Amino acid sequence: MKQRIITGIIGGALFLSLVVVGGLPFTIFIVFVASLAMMELLRMKKIPPISFIGFVSLLMMWLLVVPAHWVDFGVISHLSKVEIFIFMIIFLLMLTVLTKNTFTFDEVGFVILSSVYVGFGFHYLIMSRAIEGNGMAIVFFVLFAIWATDSGAYFVGRSLGKRKLWPDISPKKTIEGSIGGIICALFIGVIFQWVSPVFDSWVIMTLVVFVTSIFGQLGDLVESALKRHYSVKDSGNVLPGHGGILDRFDSLIYVMPILYLLQLI
C-alpha cells in the first residue's frame, strides 16, 4: 500500500504538471506513455517489442497518436494519416505471405486493433489539451470525473454492492458500485462547473459527465477483458503498486475519442 501511494503521488504530480504545461512537453510525454502502453499490449500477445513486427506495430501507433502536422512532410505530404495507416495494413497483410504465415492473420488483426485503441485514445487526449482557451480545464474535468467514478464505484460497491455487474470479466464490480460511481462523478462535475465553468451550459456538463462515467467504466471492463483473455493480472509493472500504463489509462483513452467524436469537447 505504501508503494502504491508513493507511486500515485509522484506519477499523479508529474502527469498533472504536464497537463498544466501543455504544448510540446505534454505531447512528447503522452507519446512516450502511449509507447509504453503499446508495448504492454505486444507483450500480452507475446510479440517482442524489440523486433521487426514490434517496431512496425509501434510505428503504426505513433502514426495515429501524433498531431496530424507531424506527418505532413516530404513525399507523403499529400496523404492523410489514415491513408498512410491503410497502406501499412496492406504491408502487414503482405507479410503474412512473405513469412509463410509465421506472422499470422490473427497477429495482423491484433496489431491493427491495438494501434487504433492506443493511438487514437492518446491522440484525442493530446487534441483535447490543445483546444484553444479551455483545453487544460477540459482535460482536468474529464480526469476528475473518471477519478470520481473509480472512487465512487469502489466505496459504494464495497459497502452496498450485491448484484454483480459483469462477473465473467470483472468479478468484484457491482451494479450498485457502477451507479455510485456515476453519482459521484456528477457531484464532482457540478462542483467543478460551479467553481470554474468549463462548458456553456449545465446540460452539456451533465451529458459529458454521464458519457465520461459510463464509457469510462466500459473502458475499464475492456481492459479487464483483454487481461483475462491473455491470462495476465496486470498489463505491466512500470508503475509499482499500480500495474501498467493501461491499468491507469484504460478509462481515459476509451473516453476521449468518444467525447471528441460526439463533439462534446
| Each residue's pLDDT tens digit, 3-34 | 666 766 887 888 899 999 989 999 999 999 99
C-alpha torsion sign, points 42, 45, 50, 51? negative
Q: What is the mean pLDDT of residues 240-263?
A: 86
- Among the candidates 104, 129, 154, a domain finishes at 129
84-143 pLDDT per residue, tens: 899 999 999 999 999 888 888 999 999 999 999 999 999 999 999 999 888 999 999 999
Residues 246 and 151 occupy one common structural domain: yes
Give residues with Cβ within 8 angstroms of 230, minimum separation 6. Answer: 44, 45
Residues 114 and 144 occupy one common structural domain: no
Residues 247 and 156 occupy one common structural domain: yes
pLDDT at 228: 86
Helices 105-129 + 52-65 axis angle, to 10:
30
Is residue 35 pLDDT above 80, yes or no?
yes
174-226 pLDDT per residue, tens: 899 999 999 999 999 999 999 988 898 999 999 999 999 999 999 999 998 98
Residues 29 and 93 occupy one common structural domain: yes
Range of the domain at 239: 133-265
Tell me what percent of the residues of the chain surpass a pLDDT of 90: 59
Residues 158 and 93 occupy one common structural domain: no
Give residues with Cβ within 8 angstroms of 97, minimum separation 6. Answer: none
- Phi, psi dihedral angles at 170 (to 5 degrees): -140, 90
- Phi, psi dihedral angles at 67 (to 5 degrees): -55, 150
- Among the candidates 82, 107, 129, a domain finishes at 129
- Among the candidates 92, 113, 129, a domain finishes at 129
**Full-model pTM:** 0.89
Residues 247 and 183 occupy one common structural domain: yes
